Amino acid sequence: MNVRRKVKWDLHILILLLTLTVPKAKGKDLSNPQLKYDSIVKFGTEIRNAGDRLAQLELNDTEHRALLIAKLDSLSCKFQQVWIEFWNEYPKDKRKFEWFLTNASNKANYIHYWRDRTEGAKLYTKIPKNIHQYTAEIDTASYNKNSRQLDEMAKEYFCYIDSIGGKDNITTKAYYLYKLKNYLKLCQNTAFRPSKDIMLEKIKEYFLNTAKADSFGIKNERDGFTPYLSDYYQLLTEQFFTRIDEFDLTVEDILIFITSFEDEKNEILKGWQQYNMKLFNSYSVPLPFEGKTTKGTHLNIKDFKGQVVLLDLWSIGCSSCIAAFPKVNLLLEKYKDKGFSVIAACAANIKSLSKIEKINSSANVKWETVLFSEDNTGKNFSTKYLSDYAFFAFPRYLLLNKEGKTISYSYFLDSDIEAKILAAL
């Protein structure tokens, strides 16, 4: 055999070996469900890792945040698409049902449906922390198609659970909670947001589906209703009720929304409705607030009538609450001579007095601190905190006008809080 023929023969062998050992296209081997499943797991891991990296970046590092958010959006799209393919190609493989927990429990896995992902991520990243409203063109066809596919998958999954005589409420709740979270995130984009009525109707639908899957929260003898133990109740508070201006809504819109739940027969859901009515009624009726201070005196907010008041609700174990004290101090020093006051309320009883005083001294606070629980047991804390004020977590900031009515409610100090104070003075 001459050299030329030998080289040619060796090349034929090499090509044959490569053909046998290298897949024709990555992830395209439809005859092997394990390969497809492994690629799904890989996408899920990459999403979690990218989400962790994003959480570590500073908020003002907009360039790197935009790159990571665009990458997350791309990974999430691929993750969802590969799972839909797995679902359709291997209908008898029960692993397809893992989507609901794997997808819905992954906090970073949200799709924005931007038509231009890079531009959308830049716009999304540059918005101020407290104003999550922006405008980026979306791919409506892709959103509608995916929504239909996921709903069909959900129906099949729920039928499967019923067929085996089980009730997987945790997974069902996770799925609807995912839909609620993602819908609120999408509605931050004014290009996606539908009319006010349609948006509120959808939010209510997702909320009710989530609540029903969770048996409407947790009930106990002491408090009757403890919504702070259910993440979707808190979700509506933190991502919706405290950001109504970001969805172009008014307090009146939210009151109508909350009132629409009053005909619900479930007593716990009605309790949730009544709590929130109390909170938003404080926009039209002066907020009733009084209690014993750390100095042993009695404080009543009625005595502050004629002043603009920032009510700062915090707890000893809330580091972000305490970290905001210096900023509150600056606001007080700047505007106290113009009729601005600060009142703090700590979720603690008299047993924690020394800890509270140590924190206040370290932060050099210049305001009175009211104890939510005046006795030594602390038993009346959560009842008072929930039934009187409908607050589920810390911190909470209420800005009250000179008549004692709420004009701003948030779970962090808005970047425009100073402008709001000036407008009210």
Give the 3-state secondary structure of the chain: CCHHHHHHHHHHHHHHHHHHHCCCCCCCCCCCHHHHHHHHHHHHHHHHHHHHHHHHCCCCCHHHHHHHHHHHHHHHHHHHHHHHHHHHHCCCCHHHHHHHHHHHCCCCCCCCCECCHHHHHHHHHHCCCCCCCECCCECHHHHHHHHHHHHHHHHHHHHHHHHCCCCCHHHHHHHHHHHHHHHHHHHCECCCCCCHHHHHHHHHHHHHHHHHHCCCCCCCCCCCCCHHHCHHHHHHHHHCHHHHHHHCCCHHHHHHHHHCCCCCCCHHHHHHHHHHHHHHHCCCCCCCCEEEECCCCEEEHHHHCCCEEEEEEECCCCHHHHHCHHHHHHHHHHHHHHCEEEEEEECCCHHHHHHHHHHHHHHCCCCEEEECCCCCCCCHHHHHHHHHHCCCCCCEEEEECCCCCEEEEECCCCCCHHHHHHHHC
Domain region containing 259: 194-281
Residue 177 domain-assigned? no
Residue 183 domain-assigned? no
Residue 170 domain-assigned? no
Q: Among 231, 250, 281, where does a domain finish?
A: 281
| pLDDT for res 167 | 59
Residue 103 domain-assigned? yes
**Rounded to the nearest 5°, which phi and psi values hold at 370?**
-95, 140
Q: Among 162, 184, 206, where does a domain finish?
A: 162
Q: Among 281, 316, 349, where does a domain finish?
A: 281
**Do 295 and 214 reside in the same domain of the chain?**
no
**Do 325 and 378 reside in the same domain of the chain?**
yes
Residue 18 domain-assigned? no
| pLDDT for res 92 | 87
Total count of domains within the chain: 3
**Do 202 and 221 reside in the same domain of the chain?**
yes
**Do 324 and 414 reside in the same domain of the chain?**
yes
| pLDDT for res 408 | 84
**Do 43 and 115 reside in the same domain of the chain?**
yes
Residue 25 domain-assigned? no
**Do 274 and 306 reside in the same domain of the chain?**
no
**Do 82 and 63 reside in the same domain of the chain?**
yes
**Do 111 and 142 reside in the same domain of the chain?**
yes
Residue 8 domain-assigned? no
Residue 273 domain-assigned? yes
**Do 219 and 153 reside in the same domain of the chain?**
no
**Do 310 and 392 reside in the same domain of the chain?**
yes
**Do 309 and 420 reside in the same domain of the chain?**
yes
pLDDT along the chain (425 residues), means of 10: 43 38 44 83 84 81 88 87 87 80 59 91 74 82 87 80 66 76 87 93 87 58 44 69 82 88 75 76 83 88 94 88 92 94 86 89 92 54 54 80 89 81 93
pTM of the model: 0.72
**Do 405 and 295 reside in the same domain of the chain?**
yes
